[in-house]
Structure 1
């Protein structure tokens, strides 16, 4: 007998024949469920969306019963004399009647168990789809942020050729190119530990610092000190960033470089013969503290016919179909075979032929820069419109929070600031972090620790949607102040919800966790970060001109 605690309701569709009435009476007598709901067989159809385990009782096998079903986990009860060959076309189970009590209960139990299993699988599938959609959405957002962060990347410079192939969706390698104000050129090749989203996260502060310092023609030594300072505070202990940074003078005759943990860059002449191997003499970025870090830079003289090849270890450790490494010697041979600027595509083709269909196990990045005069004139800046100081303030109630894309709307208000264009992505990232904290933790009462496993991750965002739709009270206030003399933004976000504080000091949050990464970036990218009113208000500053 079915246990009522396991199966409370069973639906029975019957054709109101004497046969059907006798079967229903017997099923009721056997107490197959705590509740039996009777339906007319005329209401049954192949696309029926079933809410409960279903039994169909009919004195004759109708044609519509043989059609493909939306849910085959049903039991069809037919007179024993019915054509058995025809009944096999039914997509569910068939019980000839009359049958023994034991067989009847067994078939009903099997049907109910199969139905419940199907419903559970359907729920898991929906949860996985929700999780996948959320992950894809977050990946799209991260891609958008990265794309904007690297929008200034000067990889289309006529004297450089690049090959950038990630092993997964996000690239753990970074190749940045930027002109200096004196006609000089900066090139950075970096390789974060591992590949994928986690190492790619380090690209944001590193690229931001690189472009800002290149605009001011900061020395290579000063650059790597700043890079190491940021990454040492940002990255967890098991992550670091191998980096090669160079500056080529405007006349192409002087090359200053710093190599921390990268394979040796190769300086070669027009005949492809290697003149210099610029080996690593320093630890990777993010490993040493500021006091222990060595920023000493080396300088070499170059000729207009020289070129320099920068690459990550993914190139020389690339596997062939025979699972053999490419190696440094083979790469030098390829460079000697294809030394010219116009030979770069042939070099790439040879690398692809070597790998064949062997999948990449690491990100692959290669850049070859010609050491000729850069031809980069000093940029001419037009007079920017002087912005007025202003204060913008808004308070959003529950209805506003459900309907408005708050962060995008606020950013649209700030978009008229002349100096914002180079900082739009960063402002978006910072504002999104503090706004989401106010909404999810303050008003909706969500706990980020739920994201520790995939099921909890999906459940977290399912709860977020449900609680936001059910939210009746509470508000979030946003205030932005702009000081035009200092080109400085001050942003405050407060909520009327429950008190909230990070589970641990922001500086100790680890990127390996599935949550808390935004707090690390907030501390790294913002100025004067303050939490007040028991975590209900957070404020930070941002210099539009100094980064």
Structure 2
């Protein structure tokens, strides 16, 4: 352990000589000053672990020196011991009031001096150790809170049809809000409220997020996801810990939703300034029942473009003011209707609850999410989209002919997406939805989704945004990739992506002879190009762990053109 340094300040040379000799014998490094100004200079040059000061000195006395060094040091744990001949209680109290921690009466007794100094040095060391542990815990907590914050702020929540507010009591919220999209274009929204709040309650969020996101991306329905969440929480969470939750599944083809409520306040369907339907809790909170006991009944509802669906935790309803009054369900529902009717920002919920509570701090996290159903009915209003029938597309002859496939497409879609449109929607989902209106294509939904996702992200990321593919496939730098992508997309002012999708039905004929692929119902062809400078698609394919390699395995033909800024795909619709 490093030798502790002590600053000794006294205007009496004999006193300094005696006390210094004692301190050196005790094993301390000693820095000496004979007046107040010298003491401050020595303090700045050689910061001590402890200071011993005479009270009565010419010029700056010991009290003034103490106040000065305490104000200039960043060390809040510096002990100051006064040497004094004063015995009046009022004088000793004044020493402590000026920032002193202890005093020793003159003449100095060596045993008392050593006992006092050793005790204060020991306290200081323990305090520094405790501070170090607290700082480490604070860093670890901050890391966990930032990780949980990234989970709560998932990009699937930042879509035009969703508004949400999350006001945690602590930085680590016990509420979980997630959204994800299935390969067939269906969407899931999940809101959960763990028992309690703060870090202990928030620690279940990563488990919930992994299960919800992973199963959604693999195409599982919401009822299966809820069953798996309940089983895992029941197995892994401590007794007494559970998750009240509500979930919503959107069907992009039927303009309908399915809603589940497991212990949260009523899910509200609102239209024209009134609540037209409530979905109350019909399932116990997740994690309480075992797998063989758990069932997930659902409520199905057709939507209209004017409807809003709101899911909320009980944080706002149970908020209290200084009088002990609750905000209440009636006031909360009136607030939601006001927000919809007057087109107020959704975070007006937070403003209204804080005004009600006044100086009383909130006792629970406040979270709510609103779905605007208009997007289910008018999903393609933001871009220049042309969808043509076969008759309208006779002038556009196919460049290649597959065995048994018509030269004229059965269905065709053209889209030109400029910067504002690219920022305004998730076009992989939009394009998938449009393609899957064809019943034949719908049977291949997951593969078509993967094709559109990989080709579109290549055109946008590597073409228009000029991102380095190596960043994406380097796990250590993937966060940098995501951040850079958001920045460049936000700043994008020019450029476009042109997309041509064509479906060719299998006619059963090929230049007058039977088709050799009887299990093939047609072809899905994609021609996508961007106005960027292109990219090294050979190197990107070698670095890819899935993405571009998956395209090569999935599709019958994958052809890059020009400098990589045009890609044509042929995918034959074989029955599995």
- Give the alignment's TM-score, normalised by structure 1: 0.56
Q: Which residue in 2 is equivalent to 1:277?
A: 278
Distance in structure 1 (CA, Å) of the matches to 2:262 and 2:318:
18
* Contact 2:166–2:367 (8 Å) recurs in 1: yes
Max radius of gyration: which structure? 2
Per-residue deviation at 1:354?
Answer: 1.9
Per-residue deviation at 1:73?
Answer: 0.9
* Contact 1:174–1:203 (8 Å) recurs in 2: yes
Of residues 358, 361, 364, the one that matches 2:360 is 358
Q: 1:181 to 1:114 in 2, by over 3 A?
A: same
Q: Which residue in 1 is equivalent to 2:237?
A: 235
Deviation string 1:65-103 (CA, Å, 9 cap, x unpaired) is: 64614553142679xxxxxxxx9999785856xx7xxxx
Q: 1:195 to 1:164 in 2, by over 3 A?
A: same
Q: 1:53 to 1:34 in 2, by over 3 A?
A: farther
Per-residue deviation at 1:168?
Answer: 0.9
Deviation string 1:487-541 (CA, Å, 9 cap, x unpaired) is: 9xxxxxxxxxxxxxxxxxxxxxxxxxxxxxxxxxxxxxxxxxxxxxxxxxxxxxx
Residue 73 (1) aligns with residue 81 (2)? yes
Distance in structure 2 (CA, Å) of the matches to 1:153 and 1:274:
29
1:189-228 matches, cutoff 5 A: 189-228=191-230
Per-residue deviation at 1:186?
Answer: 1.4
SS in 2 for 1:119: helix
* Contact 1:53–1:111 (8 Å) recurs in 2: no
* Contact 2:165–2:368 (8 Å) recurs in 1: yes
Q: Which residue in 2 is equivalent to 1:167?
A: 169
Q: 1:148 to 1:50 in 2, by over 3 A?
A: closer
* Contact 2:193–2:244 (8 Å) recurs in 1: yes
Per-residue deviation at 1:143?
Answer: 3.0
Q: Which residue in 2 is equivalent to 1:294?
A: 295
Q: 1:118 to 1:159 in 2, by over 3 A?
A: same
Residue 416 (1) aligns with residue 473 (2)? yes
Distance in structure 2 (CA, Å) of the matches to 1:275 and 1:178:
27
Q: 1:37 to 1:178 in 2, by over 3 A?
A: closer
1:12-411 matches, cutoff 5 A: 24=18, 46=39, 47=43, 61=57, 63=59, 66=62, 68-69=65-66, 72-75=80-83, 105=109, 112-150=114-152, 152-250=154-252, 253-271=255-273, 273-340=274-341, 342-345=343-346, 346-374=348-376, 375=379, 376-377=429-430, 378=432, 380-382=452-454
Per-residue deviation at 1:280?
Answer: 0.9
Distance in structure 2 (CA, Å) of the matches to 1:184 and 1:10:
71
Per-residue deviation at 1:53?
Answer: 8.8
Deviation string 1:153-176 (CA, Å, 9 cap, x unpaired) is: 422221221110001120100111
Distance in structure 2 (CA, Å) of the matches to 1:52 and 1:327:
57
Q: 1:123 to 1:10 in 2, by over 3 A?
A: closer
Q: 1:16 to 1:37 in 2, by over 3 A?
A: farther
Structure 2 residue runs without a partner (length 5+): 70-78, 87-94, 380-428, 433-448, 458-469, 483-542, 549-576
Question: How much is the aligned-residue C-alpha RMSD, in angstroms?
Answer: 4.7
* Contact 2:279–2:299 (8 Å) recurs in 1: no
SS in 2 for 1:217: coil
Per-residue deviation at 1:245?
Answer: 0.8
Distance in structure 2 (CA, Å) of the matches to 1:217 and 1:127:
51
Q: 1:55 to 1:183 in 2, by over 3 A?
A: closer
Distance in structure 2 (CA, Å) of the matches to 1:153 and 1:232:
29
1:493-508 matches, cutoff 5 A: none
Per-residue deviation at 1:181?
Answer: 3.3
Per-residue deviation at 1:229?
Answer: 2.1
Distance in structure 1 (CA, Å) of the matches to 2:243 and 2:342:
29
Distance in structure 2 (CA, Å) of the matches to 1:318 and 1:90:
43
If asked which structure has higher relative contact order (CA below 8 Å, sep 6+), I would say 1
SS in 2 for 1:342: coil
SS in 2 for 1:316: coil
Deviates more, 1:344-353 or 1:123-132: 344-353
Q: 1:110 to 1:360 in 2, by over 3 A?
A: farther
* Contact 2:51–2:80 (8 Å) recurs in 1: no
